[in-house]
Amino acid sequence: MDRSRVLRFLSQVETCRVVLLMVLVVAFVSGLQYFELAPVLSIVSPGNGTVSEYRESNDTTKSTENETFLASQEASTELKPYNNITSEVLKSSEHKFLNDSPKIEASGQSRRSNETASSLHSLQPRIPQIHKKYPHRSTKKPPVVVISITQMNKMILKRHNDPKNSLAPRWGLKVDEELRTARDKIKNVGLLKKDDNLYAPLYHNLSIFKRSYELMEQTLKVYIYSEGDRPIFHQPEAIMEGIYASEGWFMKLMESNHRFLTKDPNIAHLFYLPFSTRILQQKLYVHDSHSRRNLVKYLKNYLDLIASNYPFWNRTRGSDHFFTACHDWAPAETRGPYINCIRSLCNADVGVDFVVGKDVSLPETKISSSQNPNGNIGGNRPSKRTILAFFAGNLHGYVRPILLNQWSSRPEPDMKIFNRIDHKSYIRYMKRSRFCVCAKGYEVNSPRVVESVLYGCVPVIISDNFVPPFLEILNWESFAVFVPEKEIPNLRKILISIPVRRYVEMQKRVMKVQKHFMWHDGEPVRYDVFHMILHSVWYNRVFQTF
């Protein structure tokens, strides 16, 4: 929609040959891990809110499904849960996914056996050691390697079950012991009893989530460094609205939190770095400079300060530090010395350098009014959702032009695929459509994912390598449809092949998952989006205590 951020970086760095020192030592096939050596900048004029593409017509009431059947299914709560929607829908389409066991880079593995107590402090967990050149990743072309959501789930499990987790804590600290205890308790949870507030089919494993969440409430302590100048640090007020607002909301709720904060860094399990990547860009990016260098420098200076004033950063090289960052440039800005942090990023692209199981996908929540952060939540019942699929948005990136070319002028009246439309119509469509297409823009993320959920529309994610929020916990395939970019021509076929019964259950799950995507001003509420972000950070921390 109206992404007002307009600048992207230009291919210009071929000449610079910057030698990047950081490389991912993670459970990826190495081919995945390209760096954005040459960020692309192009100037796009912000849309001016034309409504011309909005075609309201009577044919929207045409439906592909049998309305009576829909209505009868809605009432039924006896439907079997299913977890299979994408695999079934997509099994017809041959897709090149990674094989099941991504290689682990060798360097991190062999060294453990040879550590001595005295060397421990100088050894860093999972520190990138390899100097490697990465191909330029263009935001104008599809990724070379596509990782399916199923594959990402496996990668998380693999990382969290790494045998190194069962080794003794590195630093013999009390906090490490506490994390270890928490991990054992989560792993051995068995079956907890049902919880009326949590709908089991939404989760990979509800017992694990519940136990982990409760342990977070009982155990977690977060320390916030007081260093950091305003407005880039410590000033969430300036970033409470717009498409980057989640970094502001998180910062505000974290800094004012009563439950999790500690003033004693020695008992902290996590260290929060309270900066806004949006304000960083607004304050420091030199218009037309095509360079992020001073932004990166600013963040580096901050770390130097933290590392010299406190022992905590050096102790783990940042792996118990975290931040939330919603600006598109955040991954590139934080891959230098910040690469070991638990990076909570809106731009969560597993094809670049987002590490599933370590980093955390930050929901992009577009907030129009900070008084009412969740918007005019709600939408029609399934039987009153007469439009099969809806999308509207500017033609950012390479996916949307394909989507519009394929679908905007086709005869099928149940496909409402538009260029930009006005906001009111956009919301009305979301509330009346069965499926809402969340197509990649310049980057993998889109505010449509959370919007779909809040308006009760089943998300259809067309964004290869996007890591959806809370993937550690949520079984996304049970309530969203993931359509590979190259399947855009089959979009309608894929959607109408989903049986009504399944659709109704999916939609129900979307309604049930809403609470995990809602902000609450003042005191955050149990299981809301603030707590879910914090929980994912906690969970990934607990499962990598080495």
Which residue in the block uniquely carries the two structure tokens 């990016």? 285
Say whether 510 sits in a helix, a strand or coil: helix
**Contact by Cβ (8 Å): 292, 9:** yes
- The size of the interface with ligand NAG (CB under 6 A), counted in residues, is 25
Residue 9 CB, nearest approach to ligand NAG (Å): 23
Residue 114 CB, nearest approach to ligand NAG (Å): 4
Residue 489 CB, nearest approach to ligand NAG (Å): 23
Task: Determine, following the binding rule CB under 6 A, whether residue 114 of this chain makes contact with ligand NAG.
Answer: yes
Rank residues 87 and 497 by Cβ distance to ligand NAG and give the closer one.
87
Residue 485 CB, nearest approach to ligand NAG (Å): 22
Residue 411 CB, nearest approach to ligand NAG (Å): 15
Neighbour tally for 369: CB within 10 Å: 9
DSSP code, position 192: P
Could you give the CA distance from residue 211 to residue 215 in angstroms, rounded to a whole number?
Answer: 6
Rank residues 84 and 405 by Cβ distance to ligand NAG and give the closer one.
84
Q: State which amino acid sits at residue 344.
A: S
Site string (252-291) toward ligand NAG, x via CB under 6 A: ----------------------------------------
Rank residues 84 and 181 by Cβ distance to ligand NAG and give the closer one.
84
Residue 314 CB, nearest approach to ligand NAG (Å): 4
> Which residues, numbered 191-220, are part of the site for ligand NAG (CB under 6 A)?
191, 205, 207-208
Neighbour tally for 194: CB within 10 Å: 12
Which residue in the block uniquely carries the two structure tokens 């394929």? 406
**Per-position b or e across 379-409, b if 16+ CB within 10 A of its CB:** bbebbebbbbbbbbbbebbbbbebbbebbbe
- Residue 100's alpha-carbon distances to 148, 154, 157, in angstroms, are 11, 8, 12
Neighbour tally for 174: CB within 10 Å: 11
Rank residues 184 and 523 by Cβ distance to ligand NAG and give the closer one.
184
Rank residues 252 and 317 by Cβ distance to ligand NAG and give the closer one.
317
Question: What is the secondary structure of 49-108 as a DSSP string?
Answer: ---TT----GGGG--SS-HHHHHHHHH---PPP---HHHHHHTTS---PPPS-PPPPSTT
Pick left, alpha or beta for residue 245 (phi over 0 → left; psi -120 to 50 → alpha; otherwise beta).
Answer: alpha
Which regions of 319-447 does DSSP assign to beta strands (E)? 321-325, 342-345, 360-361, 387-392, 415-418, 433-439
Task: Determine, following the binding rule CB under 6 A, whether residue 122 of this chain makes contact with ligand NAG.
Answer: no
Name the one range near ligand NAG by CB under 6 A: 185-193, 390-398, 524-532, 538-546: 185-193
Residue 186 CB, nearest approach to ligand NAG (Å): 8
Could you give the CA distance from residue 312 to residue 430 in angstroms, rounded to a whole number?
Answer: 46
Task: Determine, following the binding rule CB under 6 A, whether residue 369 of this chain makes contact with ligand NAG.
Answer: no
Residue 198 CB, nearest approach to ligand NAG (Å): 13
| Full strand arrangement of the beta sheet holding 433-439 | 415-418, 387-392, 433-439, 458-462, 481-482
- Residue 118's alpha-carbon distances to 127, 266, 320, 340, 351, in angstroms, are 18, 21, 21, 22, 37
Which residue in the block uniquely carries the two structure tokens 């990598």? 544
Residue 479 CB, nearest approach to ligand NAG (Å): 15
Rank residues 5 and 187 by Cβ distance to ligand NAG and give the closer one.
187
Q: In the set 12, 29, 88, 289, which binds ligand NAG (CB under 6 A)?
A: 88
Rank residues 283 and 410 by Cβ distance to ligand NAG and give the closer one.
410
> Which residues, numbered 54-83, are part of the site for ligand NAG (CB under 6 A)?
57-58, 66, 68-69, 82-83
Site string (307-346) toward ligand NAG, x via CB under 6 A: xx--x--x--------------------------------
Give residues in contact with ligand NAG (CB under 6 A): 48, 50, 57-58, 66, 68-69, 82-84, 87-88, 113-114, 187, 189-191, 205, 207-208, 307-308, 311, 314
